[in-house]
Structures are given as C-alpha cells and as structure tokens.
Chains A and B, each alone.
Chain A
Amino acid sequence: MSCPVEQITGYVDAALDDTARTEIEAHLAACESCRAQADAERALRRRLLGLLHPPLPTGIEERFRERLHRGTRVRLRRILVPLALAALLAFVWVRRQPQVVGWEMARDHRHCFGKRELPAKVWSEDAETVMRWFEDQGTRMPVVPEAAGGYAIVGARYCGFMDFSRAAHLYYRGEEKKAVSLFVLPRTLSERGPSLMVAGQHVVRISRVGDVTVGIVAEDKGDVDAFAHTFERSVASASSSP
C-alpha cells in the first residue's frame, strides 16, 4: 500500500478535516516511515519558524515615500491636465457665445446704473471727447454717437468681464433717468448677425461692426431698437464716407 505522503504534510499542519485526520492517525499508528516523515517535517518547521527576518536595506522607507509622492504627483497630473484643457476649451467656447456676453453686458449695465453715482472715468456730453479718451487708453472706437433714440452720452469707462477681457462701456441718459449702455468689445462672437435677447429686466442687442462687437442694453426693446437704428445708420454713413 502506498503512503498518503501529502496528507501527512497536511496532518502536520493541522489542515485536514476530521475524517481525513482520523484516517491519517490510523495510518501513522501503523506506518513507521510516515511517522518519521511527520517528525522530520515538524523538526524542519521548528527550524524555519526560528528564522529571523533579514534586516531591511537602509533607506528603503525613504525611497518608498519618495516613490509614493512621485506616483501621487503623476496621477494628479494625469487628472489635472485634461481637466485644465477641458476648462480652457469651455472657457474659449463660452466667451464667444452671444448669450453669455449679453448677460454680462446686462449685469454691467445694472451694476453701473444701479450706483448712486455713475462710476465713469470720463465725463463728457461730447462724443469726440469720449472717443479721444478711449484712443488715449489704446482702444480704437468705431463711431460713437453723441445722441441716439432720445438718449445722450454722459460718460464712459472700461468694464471688466468675467473672462478678464474689458469692454468700453458708454453711458447714455434719457428722460426720467432712463439709461442705455453701449458696449464695445474688441473681439467677435460666434454669431455674425445681430441678435436680441432678454437678460433679467433688460434687453440686449448684440451686433458686429467691423472686427468689434457692439452691445446695446436698455430697459425695453423699443429703446434698444431706437438707439440701434440711429447708431447703425451713423456707422453705415461713417464707413461709406472715409
């Protein structure tokens, strides 16, 4: 009969179920060579259990910490770089959307006219003076109407937009403290033709004049249309007579 040698190993390690253990115990009682194997394995096991762990190489912990940080940095970069690119693309796309720009113009209009005193940097009822002021600041203005649709210019300044660009903001006053804003943005938007939108309590008209974008903000559509009508006529006549 052949000896269950592997089972003897399992028996030494107390890894057998009850049935197998009983069988092996019976076999051991009768088999000299298997008893010797079990004893030898127990002795071997005692020696191996007594082995010490070898000393760690010096600097292994420092090297691990270094690697951990490097790994974290790389993984962080793997997440942050695409995220930043996506944000940049979204940003570039958003700043060309007339809806977004229109909303910002309306917000600036509300902000400036909502103050007790208009935060103008140049005060003048003369369009020439305002244009010259902007030119001094480095902004070439298209035609600046002195008055349009019953509104007259009172002053101007630069307003900062959320995308860190700035727009020329010209203030016009009408009867009963009614107000119109004319914005000149030194860039073009995704839409070419004029667009009209409502942003809160204001109406915004955005159109393109040459390579700049012009926005007109007023409280109602009638005012915007009247202002735009005069403004666009004066632009047309200015471009036809150089």
Chain B
Amino acid sequence: MRSLYGTALRMTGNAHDAEDLVQETLLRAYRGFARFAPGTNIRAWLHTILQRTRTDAFRQKQRTVRTTELIDDGPAVAVPPAAQEALASGGEDIERALGAVPEPFRTAVVLRDVEDFTYQEIAVMLEVPIGTVMSRIHRGRALLREKLGARP
C-alpha cells in the first residue's frame, strides 16, 4: 500500500488525488481478486490496476474538460510545491526535480527506478510496447538529470 500510495503521489502530485487513486485501485483489486493469478507478482498486479485506474480517471476528466472547454491540466503538470514538501523529507531536491519531469516520462521513471519494476512489467502496466517503455525511461532520466543539474 505504501508503494502504491508513493507512486500515486508522485504521479498526481497531490495527496487528495493520490488517496482517491489508491482507494479506487484497492477497491478494484478487491473486486477483481479472483482474476489475480496466484504465483505471479501481486505488487506488479496492483500497480497495473493503479495505472489502469489512472488512465480511466484521466479519460473521464478529459471528457468533462472537453464539454466545459477548459484547458487540460492533466498529468503533464508538475507536482505542486505542497506535495513536494510531503515527498521531500529532509530537503531532498531529487523529489523536486522528479516532480518537475512531465508525464508520461515521470511515471516511467518512478516505476523503473523508485519501484524497481522490469521493462516487461512496466509495459504491461502502461499498455505500451517495451520499446516505448525504454524511450520514456531514457527521456525521463535525461530530463531529470537536466533538472538536477540546473539547480544550485
């Protein structure tokens, strides 16, 4: 649950949305537990549901956005300072830099480097080919290095 919440927080950038996402993920996991194949990685399974939940929520948001003609402020937005405080305990500037990396690169880096999932697992979670996972991680790390280097 801590791993889920950590990922959700790094993805959404605020505690409220992160909790909503985790709650919805756990609810879906609970209902769909019968579909979980024993012997496989339960952590990866939960993270897959987290990503799907995120996609669904984002699609829903896009629909409402389209009808109200607002500017999309989806996952491309950086993590706001308040949530960075929660993440960066002890003044860790790497959390700030990570928060400044835009999506979809941030999630790819979080899943690979913070949560330590394999490319194969991430490809399943994000429903993209392995090549896309690799390019997103590459771009995410490059951006992150840039942000870190740019800071004093």
Contact = CB atoms under 8 A, between A and B. Distances in A.
B119 interface: yes
A68 B138 CA distance: 39
A6 B114 CA distance: 19
Given A60-B5, A60-B19, A49 B116 contact: yes
Interface stretch (B46-54, B56-64, B87-95): B87-95
A15 B118 contact: yes
A10 B119 contact: yes
Given A6-B135, A54-B86, A67-B27, A13 B112 contact: yes
A187 B37 CA distance: 58
A5 B30 CA distance: 41
A44 B138 contact: no
B23 A47 contact: no
Contacts of B135: 6
B4 to A, nearest CB: 9
- Interface size bucket, B side? 35 or more
B22 interface: yes
B100 interface: no
B72 interface: no
A51 interface: yes
B23 A48 contact: no
A9 B143 CA distance: 13
Contact of A40 (B5, B6, B94, B145): B145
Nearest to A45: B113
Interface in A39-82: 40-41, 44-45, 47-49, 51-54, 56-57, 60-61, 63-64, 67-68, 71
B77 interface: no
A49 B118 contact: no
B141 A56 contact: no
A56 to B, nearest CB: 6
8 contacts: A13-B134, A45-B141, A49-B116, A54-B5, A56-B5, A57-B19, A60-B5, A68-B30
Interface of A: 5-10, 13, 15, 40-41, 44-45, 47-49, 51-54, 56-57, 60-61, 63-64, 67-68, 71
- 4 residue pairs, one from A and one from B, having the closest CB atoms: A48-B113, A9-B138, A53-B6, A53-B2
Interface of B: 1-3, 5-6, 9, 15, 19, 22-23, 26-27, 30, 86-87, 89, 92, 94-95, 98, 109, 112-114, 116, 118-119, 130, 134-135, 137-138, 141, 144-145, 148
Given A54-B9, A68-B26, 17 more contacts: A5-B138, A7-B134, A9-B134, A9-B138, A13-B112, A13-B119, A44-B141, A44-B144, A47-B94, A54-B6, A57-B15, A61-B1, A63-B19, A63-B23, A64-B22, A67-B23, A68-B30
